[in-house]
Amino acid sequence: MVTGSQRPDGWTLVLRRQPARIVEGRPEGGYTDAFELICCDCGDDPDRDYRGVPPRLQLVRGPYPIAAGVVAYEQHRKLHQEFRAMASRPRRSMLG
């Protein structure tokens, strides 16, 4: 997925193992058994700890068990694809 909010390393959406916590943009204290979905297109920042993002982004992040995380990843990816397709369609005038 490539968009205007793409990170320098090339991704905008990722399912990753949830760090125990993030301090100064780095994982600290190991990782949990849960996974989280990070979507830069939605305004999330992978350098922020789960507790440091707004509730709407926490809903996207999860946490998820791996199988549910893969499903959430695919659903979220498709949502952005559909949104971009709708945004690229020409608009019809309501005035006829």
Tell whether 19 is covered by a domain.
yes
Which pLDDT belongs to residue 4?
43
- Cβ atoms of residues 15 and 7 within 8 Å: no
Domains: count for the chain: 1
Q: Which of 26, 80, 34 is nearest to 58 (CA)?
A: 34
Tell whether 25 is covered by a domain.
yes
Q: Domain containing 44: what range?
A: 13-88
Tell whether 45 is covered by a domain.
yes
Structure-token match 């440091």, residue found: 52
Which pLDDT belongs to residue 28?
86
> At residue 64, what is the residue type?
Y
Tell whether 26 is covered by a domain.
yes
> At residue 72, what is the residue type?
A
Structure-token match 């397709």, residue found: 85
**What is this structure's pTM?**
0.74
Tell whether 32 is covered by a domain.
yes
Tokens at 6, concatenated? 């793409």
Tell whether 94 is covered by a domain.
no
- pLDDT tens sequence for the chain (96 residues): 344 455 566 678 999 999 888 888 888 888 899 999 999 999 999 999 998 999 999 999 999 999 999 999 999 999 998 988 888 887 776 665
